[in-house]
Amino acid sequence: MKRRGKILLGIFIPIIVLGAGVGGFALYKEWPADWSREAPILDFPVENSAVIHVIGGYGDVPWGDWHNGIDFGCNVSVNIIAPCDVRVVGIKTWLYAHEPDRWQTSVQYTINWAYNLEIAYESWALNETYADIQREAIPHKVGQIIPQGEVLGQLLYHGEGTHIHFMVKYKGNDVCPYNYFSNEAKILFDSIWAVCGVGGIPCNETTTSLFHFLFLFLCLFVIIAIIINTELVILAVIGNGMPNGNVYVDVFVGISVVGI
């Protein structure tokens, strides 16, 4: 091998190895805690359920906007528990600009290749000082795996609106967390919901179901309209014997054939 070729190999091989190592480590941090795609079975996420004074349901809720998670409102600071094995893939502290403006820390976790978990620690931090304190109460870093039952972090009480916003996603789409709770977690949830649940039912997906139905109905209508249009075009051309004609078809109005 020529000297020049050896020099090039000596330069590029370390670069390739380094790039593969960095890329592999970055990918490793995104790997889920569980390599399956099966639906998880979740434990109850609040360590001391006695401090919960309100639960906000998922979906179509009385306060207006579509609610893509379940809120657990707490009247004192409390530990939040890993409902299953999870890996931390993102942590963000940000200002939620909605009256009153307040800071929150959102933590994203992977459960497996199909399911993700996200928890927003909404401690009602009205300034950055309280926001930083809440962030420090979440001790984990991106890439860490937290086993089921271990403490994910502490939700700090900074005001009467303190709660966690508990979200589950399936292939990137929001789903109702209640449907994935273990039997024991559902029993505990139901007992608290009966006293302080808000939203009618834990998973009020009526709006989503209605939207899906209307969307499918519209798609079916368009397909039928296209088929009818095509058949009417053929019939119009054959019936009028006008191979050089322009045929206009509208299933709502009728057929008109204009010769050229």
Candidate from 133-137, 177-181, 255-259 with smallest mean pLDDT: 255-259
Question: Does the pLDDT of residue 158 top 70, yes or no?
Answer: yes
Radius of gyration of the chain (CA): 28
Is the backbone peptide bond immediately before 147 cis, with ω within 30 degrees of 0? no
- Give domain status of residue 105, yes or no: yes
175-211 pLDDT tens trace: 999 999 999 999 999 999 999 999 889 999 875 444 4
- Give domain status of residue 38, yes or no: no
Q: Looking at residue 92, what is its pLDDT?
A: 98
- Give domain status of residue 159, yes or no: yes
- Please name the helix (run of DSSP H) or strand (run of DSSP E) that holds residue 134, with its range, or none: helix 128-136
Q: Name the burial class of residue 113, with classes exposed (0-12), middle (13-18) and buried (19+) by CB atoms within 10 angstroms of its CB.
A: middle
Same domain, yes or no: 139 and 246 = no
- Give domain status of residue 41, yes or no: no
Cβ-Cβ contacts under 8 Å for 259 (sequence gap 6 or more): 242, 244, 245, 246
- Give domain status of residue 238, yes or no: yes
Q: Looking at residue 174, what is its pLDDT?
A: 98
- Give domain status of residue 36, yes or no: no
Q: How confident is the model at residue 99 (pLDDT cuts 50, 70, 90)?
A: confident
- On whether the CB atoms of residues 113 and 58 are closer than 8 A, the answer is no
Backbone angle region of 223, left / alpha / beta, with phi > 0 → left and psi within -120 to 50 → alpha: alpha
Candidate from 31-35, 80-84, 132-136, 155-159 with smallest mean pLDDT: 31-35
Average pLDDT over residues 223-240: 50
Written as one string, the DSSP assignment of 191-220 is HHHHHHEEEEEEEE-HHHHHHHHHHHHHHH
Give me the chain's average pLDDT, please. 81
- Give domain status of residue 12, yes or no: yes
Same domain, yes or no: 12 and 66 = no
Same domain, yes or no: 68 and 181 = yes
Domain span at residue 10? 1-30
Domain boundary among 178, 204, 230: 204
Q: How confident is the model at residue 132 (pLDDT cuts 50, 70, 90)?
A: very high
Same domain, yes or no: 68 and 147 = yes
Q: How confident is the model at residue 28 (pLDDT cuts 50, 70, 90)?
A: low
Average pLDDT over residues 120-127: 97
User: What CATH number does the domain containing 130 carry?
Assistant: 2.70.70.10
Q: Looking at residue 235, what is its pLDDT?
A: 45
Same domain, yes or no: 25 and 69 = no
- Give domain status of residue 44, yes or no: no
Tally of domains in the chain: 3
Average pLDDT over residues 7-23: 45
Question: Does the pLDDT of residue 18 top 80, yes or no?
Answer: no
**Residue bearing the bigger pLDDT, 221 or 57:** 57
The pTM for the full model equals 0.72
Most confident option among 87-96, 196-205, 219-228: 87-96
